[in-house]
A and B are shown apart, each in its own frame.
Chain A
Amino acid sequence: MKQWQVFLWGAVGVAALIWFLVAYAIVTSIRRRRAEDRDDPDGDIPPQTQYRTKLEIVYTTIPLLIVVGLFALAMYGTNVLDNSQATPDLTINVVGFQWQWQFNYEEQDVTVGGAAGVMPDLYLPVGATVRFNLRADDVIHSLWVPEFLEKRDLIPGVDTNSIIVKVTKPGSYVGRCAEYCGLNHTEMKFNLYAVPRDQFDEWVRNQPKGRPFVQGSFTTDLGTRSTTTTLTPTTLEPAPVGPGRGVATTGGSR
């Protein structure tokens, strides 16, 4: 059973227990009411039980134990996610800005971006371990491809955030900005195509090298901060479409 399933079924179980206890209280009360002594004005008063210390100890201790167990599991899962030790085959520098993404393939010297109304296309080779270095310069964004099973913020002034994913399945996916970042946050998306290695290589070969990447402007000073527009990186033409595109199907892989 996967970790999230343990949590999910645990949650369902606890909710079911409370629903059961409430239902039990209702049913037994209705039953007892039928057996009431109607001549006694106080005949409907149930036993005024208030304290059952042993029971209290039990229902405090058991949740405590469950929580300790869940915590251990959570820490285990978090360590698996945080596989920053893994050596990546591919390093991609990601910059998010209002309201676009730019991806820079470090070793390949290839940069892709989007344009108004056009989502950038990110190609990844299946089987590779990919490291995304996450940066932003204007406001906070968050990189999220649901299939990555995690997201991480891009924060101005924080240059250390990254995530590492292993691409296992070919397909086309949609990546989004998950941290609200202003007017067109909703439209801040990109396409992700996971393609076989040879198609990826061909796609890289067809890309122009050395296009400007916004990273150069990272150390900002007051001058470049003072207006919104100076922060907008050079908008790139949408990446020329390589043969890899044929792998993509419409509508995502969900």
Chain B
Amino acid sequence: MTLLDERSAGETPPAEPPPHRRQPTGILRWATSSDHKVVGAAYMVTSIGFYLIGGLMGEAMRAQLAVPDNKLIDNGAYNQLFTLHGTIMLLFFLGSFAFGVANFIIPLQIGARDMAFQRLNQVSYWLYLSGGLVVLSGAFTENGAANFGWFAYTPLSDGIRSPGVGGDLWIAGVSLVGVSGILSAVNFITTMITMRAKGMTMFRLPIFCWNMLIVSVLILLTFPVLTAAGVMLYADRQFGGHIFDATVINGVSGVPVLWQQLFWFFGHPEVYILILPYFGIVTEVISAFSRKPVFAYKGFVFATITIGALSVAVWAHHMYATGVVLLPFFSALTMLIAVPTGVKFFNWCGTMIGGRLSFTASMHFAIGFLLCFVIGGVTGVMLASPSLDLQLTDTYFVVAHFHYVLFGGGVFALFAGIYYWYPKFTGKKLHEGWGKLQFWLQFVGFNMTFFVQHLLGMQGMPRRTASYTAADGDLFRYLNLVSSIGALILGASTLPFLWNVYRTWRRGEVVGRNPWDAGTLEWWAPSPPPIGNFDRALPPIRSERPVWDAEHPGHEALAEQRHGTGRADGVVGASASKGGGS
């Protein structure tokens, strides 16, 4: 490893990489390159593929639920659908896409040439891809894919209740992606700790990097627990273990609830592992398109750390109805998480207020994120109260809540990130008009699909039901119909996106290094960056926005309380060259 050399490479241009005899192109390059950008792109493309598959499953379920007593999909198939949909969306799409962005962007943002462990990075990607395919392959086995829900509660998921290879493939696939995540986390942490360019102190690290750092720590704390629990479940299923069932042998028995404790010890932090990267993305986007530094940067970092710390101590809020957990403790800590999350909302609003907003497609999605995610946040506080949760848990209220968090938060921020970084990824800008059309379809469709589900839950519709009857009343009928129509619109929003990618590939607008006039280091590199990333000396790094500081001298972030004039003293009117960009 040449970590220490690279660290000091900061202010001198990195040497040209030795010219390769023949650089493979196309699919071969994708399969063989260990360049962090290629691995990152592979992650992103693959996870969008899984998103489309998982999305189609969601559409199928909504089609089944559109009208009462529908016979389109039978119970067995429906159960497989929600299991696969949940598993794919959580473990093979949202988190993995964030890994893709992180692989591509982190080395650029910290001024490094690549990730710390490049081969390992490739290994993670292949483990991830195979994990996803293994889970999906269950659908082609005799008994079908796993059908015990994405949290696989025991004893339902044991060998007696859920025989069939599908369940074993599910465990195998989930363990593979678990190992992949652990390797990536090690890689991210090492890269960010050891490979930052000269001058890039921890408090000058862009927010996206900070969030990925906390995410990586959470992964190291929780993924091993998932993988270990998976092995135990496999032992129960295949080797006659009785860890998770209540069978009494010689006076002692296993404990079904133990699985829930282990699973949610992973599962709750997992939702922060999924959402924190997107907090990071939205922060970068909002700062860039408000032409302002992130408001209360340090407060934001501390809020992220607090969320990370609290998130490992709240897992049993998924288990209130089991009657075996200490309600006040888990309720208190869960509600406390609302505080640092609320702080972040004020950071985002504070960044925008007083800013010069440009309403690009990316910014549309970021604003959509703010508007939708807050709803998922406040319903989360409602569910944290045991008295409300005992009524609402396992109903459509919860389905609405987590889609507001994962889709309204995660997916909106994801597209904000795609539109923002696409020029860096490919050197071309996605079309803004198609992007905005996609945004409006997605925003309307999303809220139509999932807002009414809050009401359905309060009306008494349990989650994971393959159908409902006409006797359940008109409210069920109409709200479900609205939700299904919304899902169609939501599904349709993917089309402008795919078209946009295609047309940009054919004839997209070619852009320079820094088309958005943004501030972090990735915008100093050419678009797309060559192998080795930077073709010129890095600017001096004096804040978390080195490129901004270099391109707009005299417009550095103001010290405390010095607001209102718009100018630091001295350099009024000095306009710097806008280094190569636009």
Q: B375 near A155 (CB under 8 angstroms)? A: no
A155 touches B356 (CB 8 A): no
User: B369-391 interface mask toward A, CB cutoff 8 Å, 1 = contact, 0 = none?
Assistant: 01100110111011011111011
C-alpha spacing A19/B331, complex, angstroms: 27
Q: Are A74 and B257 in contact (CB under 8 A)?
A: no
Partner of A151 from B246, B394, B473 at Cβ < 8 Å: B394
Interface string of A38-56 (1 = CB under 8 A from B): 0011101111111111011
**Is A25 in contact with B343, judged by CB distance below 8 angstroms?**
no
Q: Chain A residues near B377: list those with CB within 8 A.
A: 14
* B390–A150 CB distance below 8 A: yes
Which of A59, A74, A225 sits near B387, CB closer than 8 Å? A74
**Are B356's CB and A45's CB within 8 A?**
yes
CA distance A14 to B256 in the complex (A): 38
B293 at interface, CB cutoff 8 A: yes
CB proximity of B243 to chain A, nearest CB, Å:
12
Query: Cβ of A28 and Cβ of B473 under 8 Å apart?
Result: no
Within 8 A of A (CB), among B95-127: none
List chain A residues, Cβ under 8 A from B338. Answer: 63, 67
When each residue 253-265 of chain B gets 1 if its CB lies under 8 Å from chain A and 0 otherwise, what string results? 1111100000000
CB of A243 closer than 8 Å to a CB of B: no
B353→A28 contact, CB < 8 A = yes
Query: Given A25-B355, A71-B332, A63 and B349 touching (CB < 8 A)?
Result: no
CB < 8 Å: which of B255, B256, B290, B375 contacts A15?
A: B375
* A55-B347 Cα distance, complex, nearest whole Å: 11
Cα separation A146 to B155 with both chains bound (whole Å): 26
Most B Cβ at <10 Å: residue of A137, A149, A179, A251: A179
Number of interface residues of A (CB under 8 A): 94
Over the window 176-199 of chain A, the binary record of Cβ atoms lying under 8 Å from chain B Cβ atoms (1 yes, 0 no) is 111111111111000000000000
Task: Encode contact with A along B551-582: 1 for CB under 8 Å, 0 otherwise.
Answer: 01011111111011110100001010000000
Given contacts A251-B471, A254-B475, contact A47 B357 (CB under 8 A): no
Complex contacts, B335 vs chain A, CB 8 Å: 67, 70-71, 74
Asked whether, in the complex, the Cβ of B331 is within 8 Å of the Cβ of A183, the reply is no
Q: Which residues of B contact A180 (CB under 8 A)?
A: 79, 148-149, 153, 156, 394, 463-464
Q: How far is the CB of B554 from chain A (nearest CB, A)?
A: 8
CA distance A252 to B476 in the complex (A): 13
Query: Would you give the 0/1 interface string for A146-169, flagging 1 where the beta carbon is closer than 8 Å to chain B?
Result: 100111110111101100000000
Residues of B within 8 Å of A138, CB to CB, are 155, 161
Q: Is A247 an interface residue (CB 8 A)?
A: no
Cβ contact of A144, chosen from B75, B297, B349, B462, cutoff 8 A: B462
Report the Cα distance A14→B335, complex, angstroms: 14
B346 within 8 A of A: yes
B462 touches A7 (CB 8 A): no
In the complex, the answer to whether A63 meets B394 with C-beta atoms within 8 Å is no
A146 to B456, CA, bound (A): 12
Do B156 and A181 touch (CB < 8 A)? yes
Q: What distance in Å separates the Cβ of A57 from its nearest Cβ neighbour in chain B?
A: 10
Contacts of A98 in B (CB 8 A): 161
Q: Does A1 contact B (CB under 8 A)?
A: no
Asked if A85 is an interface residue, CB under 8 A from chain B, the answer is no
Among B148, B321, B324, B338, max chain A CB count under 10 A is at B321
5 contacts between A and B (CB under 8 A): A46-B292, A56-B343, A60-B299, A151-B321, A180-B153
Q: Name 16 extra pairs, CB < 8 A, besides A25-B353, A74-B385, A78-B387.
A: A10-B378, A41-B575, A42-B575, A46-B290, A47-B354, A47-B566, A51-B560, A59-B343, A78-B331, A78-B386, A150-B387, A158-B257, A177-B462, A179-B394, A185-B79, A186-B75
A residues with CB within 8 A of B: 3-4, 7-8, 10-12, 14-15, 18-19, 21-22, 24-26, 28-30, 32-33, 40-42, 44-53, 55-56, 59-60, 63-64, 67, 70-71, 73-75, 77-78, 80-81, 98, 137-140, 142, 144, 146, 149-153, 155-158, 160-161, 174, 176-187, 219-222, 225-228, 250-252, 254
Question: Which B residues lie at the A interface, using CB under 8 A?
Answer: 75-76, 79, 147-149, 153, 155-156, 160-162, 245-249, 253-257, 290-299, 321-324, 327-328, 331-332, 335-336, 338-339, 342-343, 345-346, 349-350, 352-357, 367, 370-371, 374-375, 377-379, 381-382, 384-388, 390-391, 393-395, 459-460, 462-467, 471-473, 475, 552, 554-561, 563-566, 568, 573, 575
7 A-B pairs with the lowest CB-CB distances in the bound complex, closest first = A157-B246, A77-B387, A146-B460, A74-B385, A11-B378, A25-B352, A156-B246
